[in-house]
Amino acid sequence: MITLNIDQIKQTILQRDPMLMVDEIKDIDPGKRVIGIKHITGSEPFFKGHFPGEPIMPGTLIIEAMAQVSTFLFYQPNKESQKLNFYLGVAKDIRFLKPVTPKAELKITAEPLRLAEDSAHVKVKASVNGNIVSKGELIFVRRKA
């Protein structure tokens, strides 16, 4: 089992606060499955306006969290320095089933439907306490250097 902490994540993907939407990678089986965690504390700036008195995590940020976790399907454990430079191209059949509220642990699972060197089609789901809150498919292309 491969796990990554926040410092290792920051060495691997380009996003930074406030757009870094993954805190831990719990398990990577390269090319087969990745599980990541986003701790929703309630102090995130988006809760100020979404929605006052009834805070929920915006769906677009749930998609962003699923996308960031998905790129770790390309992680190569024996490679010293790597950047996973992917652009999200399509969010397909995304469903939001339950709201994500403060003090939640968002668990994201990504599995490939198709992987190529420069693109990916991934099945994703996000859950809180074992309940699926969002699911769908994401399509990525690798960023050209």
Please determine, for residue 129, whether its predicted confidence score (pLDDT) is greater than 80: yes
For residues 68 and 85, the answer to whether their CB atoms sit within 8 Å is no
Please determine, for residue 76, whether its predicted confidence score (pLDDT) is greater than 90: no
Please determine, for residue 145, whether its predicted confidence score (pLDDT) is greater than 70: no
**pLDDT tier for residue 99 given thresholds of 50, 70 and 90:** very high
What pLDDT does 143 receive? 76
Span 82-97, pLDDT tens digits: 778 888 999 999 999 9
What structural domains and CATH numbers belong to the chain? 2-142 (3.10.129.10)
The count of other CB atoms within 10 Å of the CB of residue 2 is 14
What pLDDT does 114 receive? 95
Please determine, for residue 80, whether its predicted confidence score (pLDDT) is greater than 80: no
Tell me how many degrees the CA angle 136-141-143 measures, rounded to the nearest 5. Answer: 140
Taking residues 104-125, what's their average pLDDT?
Answer: 95
For the question of residue 50 being annotated catalytic, the response is yes
Catalytic residue chosen out of the listed positions 50, 121, 123, 135: 50
- pTM for the complete prediction? 0.94
